[in-house]
Chains A and B, each alone.
Chain A
Amino acid sequence: MSALFKVATGACLGLSLILLPVSGVQAAPVTDILLEANPASSWLHANGNWAAYRYSELRQINPANAGDLGAAWVFNSGAKNDPQMTPLYHDGLVYYAQDNQLWALDGGTGRVVWKYTHEIPEDYGGYNADFVLGKHRGVAIMGETVFMLSTDSKLHGVDYKTGEQKFVKQYLTYPKDFEMAEDSNGYAITVGPLAILGQIIVPLNATDFGGLPGFVDGVNPCTGESNWRANMIPGPGEPGADTWPGNSADYGGAGPWMTGSWDAELERYFTGTANAYPWNPAGRGGGKEDNVGAASLVAINTSDGSVAWRYTAVPGDPWDYDTQQTPLIIDVNGKKTIVHPNKTGFIHYLDIDTGRFLRATPFADKITWVEGYDRNGRPINQIALPIEGGDQVEVYPALFGGTNMYPHSYSPLTGLIYLAAANNGMMYGFEKIQVISNVRHFGATMEFMFGYEVNLAMDANSGKEVWRDQKSLPGYSGGMFSTAGDIVAYVSANGDATVTNSSTGEILWTFNMGATGKAGGITYMHDGTQYILQSAGGIQGFGNEAHPHSAGGGYLIAFTLR
């Protein structure tokens, strides 16, 4: 089927079905072969490759010389909201999105080559949709087109060399300012699209802006037209549909708000989904119904959008435990497996064909919400839920999770998973769910006990910790990438960019970027030089003000060996 999509779209992408000669100098459209490869000179998917490893084949920078890294250039996006964007690099240009703008930067100097700007409509709004306005976690590239999702639920196809608009396609309604709209529910997009063979994957999320249900679309790269739409919450007749009482599924959330992974052999897209909505489960079974599809992993056949399986990691999710984190596709003990570190504090292992639960190994230092998982993948002895309007209960991890939106990496070289983890708890209670402009509010309150940031290396086979870089203060690492040169790189809430030996955890180099790091970095080869790109800027998060540097800023910093 995807071959069909390819034939239909090949011409518009500037691709012939015959392989193009690849040379370093001439313009080089992004072919299927390039999309399939691990990052080397280029970095073509926010998650590095389809299996989501954020692992590059480059070795110029390695433990012997990483201490000689220095800043080569800085780009200021003037960010108004948290920069969470993992850039791409291809054929001389770095692609970077922030605040509904897309830049192409010269990979060697950081100077702007072109800029594409999208104006958000004036009636965009709603009581907390500004929280995500202008956040981007990635863009996609295929053929001669770069694809950006804007906050107002639109996909923009932009020429990769000129920045000229090719198409704009809106999928669903966006959240409206409640002064102007009777109904302020809508989809606000922060996630990046993913280029697979012949299609662009477009995840659509509305979870915490009123809870409209989440979808994944497979779209035509030439026009943005949807080929199919997959629902995260099971539709009528699908297994699990009956776990949503009344009309609760209509506002049940479960949006996929991070880019998932794709298996070319199975032609299957794997994504985690957001929490069940509202946070207070009173209207969706009070925590006693599973609410399948929310806080879940969903496998979608990309030939037709049918859902192959769903696994619910947090049945009836009462804790705002999104499991939207990117699933990794790893050979575990010789068998291709879905490996999924998430907010619960556990790494979940699932059979890739059936979604059958294999095991869940803890990585968070303190987990109190359950004792573990049984053989069927169900939580054991979940603590009692708070009573609406009553006292709060203590829960670890806090709702920002053992790990959250700061991306992880897997290195085939070391067999280790690198996790941006944090150890926080919360006092958590339920309140009456208020409804304003038809938007259901959270119905929950929380106070946080801030713990420490910890950057973990976990053995993918055993699930055991191999090394850690534990910070004294709260935060998350901005996210990981690793390389065949045996390094892993990340940024921290304290403003450090760090490179460690990926096998041993020895810290090889740190650089004070002067602002909190919140995005995953990349590495690429430009004119024979390996670059590392890291991002600095954003609020420290969730009312935590532990770090003395000020909030805000939006810098992309390139590092090379001196």
Chain B
Amino acid sequence: MCSRILLVVVLLTPIAYFTAGLGSIEALAAPQSSNPLSGDESAIRDGKSLFRGICAVCHGRNADGKGERGQGSDLRKFKRGFTRYLEIAQNGRDTGRTQKMPAWGKVLPEEDLIKIGAFLETLAIEGANWVDPE
């Protein structure tokens, strides 16, 4: 219970209001994050290219889950925090359907997945969370 209240407080830090004050709507949408490369412009650029080249086929170019190969999650709403993101991206996930989330851990460097995470954060919509639970 305690940690949930803490989380709300973290998300409503004055930084968000401050950047919004500068007139940037994108900055308001960008959540706080436990990703070490969060907000790093060059990481976000690399992450975007990697995401579009590798993940978009299932998750859609805009990470909305509408990929040509279908049935990937809407990653704009990813809410399990950065560390869980990295675990799922590395180890994959069984869905019970034929189509699974592949395990990328052995074929993509961790840094690439962190960069993809940094890019995904910038697409976050309501309900998303990239902060690790306490």
A contacts, CB < 8 Å to B: 80-81, 99, 125, 127-128, 130-131, 133-134, 178-179, 389, 392, 399, 429, 431-434, 436-437, 441-443, 445-448, 539, 541-544, 552
B108 at the A interface (CB under 8 A): yes
- B contacts with A, residue count (CB < 8 A): 29
B19 partner residues in chain A, CB cutoff 8 A: none
Whether B106 pairs with A179 at a CB distance below 8 angstroms is yes
B contacts, CB < 8 Å to A: 49-50, 52-54, 56-58, 60-62, 64-71, 97-100, 102-103, 105-108
Whether A441 pairs with B54 at a CB distance below 8 angstroms is yes
Whether A431 pairs with B102 at a CB distance below 8 angstroms is no
Question: Would you give the shortest CB distance from A495 to chain B, in whole angstroms?
Answer: 18
Contacts A179-B107, A541-B70; A445 near B102 (Cβ below 8 A): no
A448 partner residues in chain B, CB cutoff 8 A: 66
B54 partner residues in chain A, CB cutoff 8 A: 127, 434, 436, 441
Q: Which residue of A lies closest to B58 (CB)?
A: A128
By DSSP majority rule, is chain B's interface helix, strand, loop, or mixed?
loop
Jot down 12 A-B pairs with beta carbons below 8 A, ordered by A.
Answer: A128-B57, A130-B99, A130-B100, A131-B69, A399-B68, A431-B53, A432-B49, A445-B52, A447-B66, A448-B66, A541-B70, A543-B64
Whether A436 pairs with B70 at a CB distance below 8 angstroms is no
Question: Would you give the shortest CB distance from A544 to chain B, in whole angstroms?
Answer: 8
Of B52, B60, B67, B107, the residue contacting A436 (CB under 8 A) is: B107
Whether B71 pairs with A434 at a CB distance below 8 angstroms is no
By DSSP majority rule, is chain A's interface helix, strand, loop, or mixed?
loop
Q: Which residue of A lies closest to B108 (CB)?
A: A436
Contacts A446-B61, A447-B61, A543-B66; A431 near B98 (Cβ below 8 A): no
Of B49, B97, B99, B108, the residue contacting A431 (CB under 8 A) is: B49
Whether B61 pairs with A443 at a CB distance below 8 angstroms is no
Contacts A127-B102, A131-B99, A434-B54; A445 near B61 (Cβ below 8 A): yes
B58 partner residues in chain A, CB cutoff 8 A: 128
Contacts A178-B102, A179-B103, A179-B107; A431 near B70 (Cβ below 8 A): no
6 smallest CB-CB distances across A and B, nearest first, come from: A543-B66, A445-B61, A434-B53, A81-B98, A431-B52, A80-B98
Question: Would you give the shortest CB distance from B78 to chain A, in whole angstroms?
Answer: 17
Whether B69 pairs with A433 at a CB distance below 8 angstroms is no
